[in-house]
A and B are shown apart, each in its own frame.
Chain A
């Protein structure tokens, strides 16, 4: 069976991992309630988008 002939160096390992970095997700603040939300998405906490109520949220619940 084929097997690695030699152990890769630390340098080689880090070179391989140079493309594995995670990106931080885009976050914006909701102009209505100030909560963090995804840009271009309806606010999940208050249900508004661009100043208009999209989903009715009952505050009592």
Chain B
């Protein structure tokens, strides 16, 4: 009987559940924000905040305990070096869950879970991604609108093609060599 036990298992065996939670914790630490279902976000919150508390401790023992759960050197290093020091003044509540509505397909209620201090960096990353996308569109449209802008666009185009070609050829040569050798 599992009367009055509050843990959610998500139809997974213990190993699968543990792997899922540690993977999601790693993703959250590295990305700063992940999209998942609301029940998963609420369970992840507990484990992710536990890891940040270990990160605030910062000792070798704490690092090994974090490593035992997260099992990713990259994520643990980022947690201890970049993420955890931002939460020195905060006692818990390191993550935020934003409800998004339902997912088409299975009608699952979705949410963002994000690091409270990492939210600003996520917004900056989104703006950078937007800035990268934005100039690409005017370049494509510019030649059609203005005749003057076509000249620089033409100059750029052959260079881009010239750069691409050797990159494409080299791997092919190495691949053929590797095949002939074996």
Contacts and interface: CB of A to CB of B under 8 A. Distances in A.
**Residue in A40, A44, A54 with the greatest tally of chain B CB atoms within 10 Å:** A54
B27 interface: no
B101 A38 contact: yes
Number of contact residues on B: which range applies? under 10
A41 B98 CA distance: 7
Contacts of A44: 100-101
Interface in B78-129: 98-101, 112, 123, 126-127
Contacts of A46: none
Decide if the interface of chain A is mainly helix, strand, loop or mixed: loop
A28 interface: no
Decide if the interface of chain B is mainly helix, strand, loop or mixed: strand
A38 B99 CA distance: 10
B170 interface: no
B98 A56 contact: no
State the 5 A-B residue pairs at the shortest beta-carbon distance, nearest first: A41-B99, A56-B126, A42-B100, A42-B98, A54-B98
Given A41-B101, A54-B98, A58-B130, 7 more contacts: A38-B99, A38-B101, A41-B99, A42-B98, A42-B100, A56-B126, A56-B127
21 contacts: A38-B99, A38-B101, A40-B99, A41-B99, A41-B100, A41-B101, A42-B98, A42-B99, A42-B100, A42-B101, A42-B112, A44-B100, A44-B101, A49-B98, A53-B123, A54-B98, A54-B112, A56-B126, A56-B127, A56-B130, A58-B130
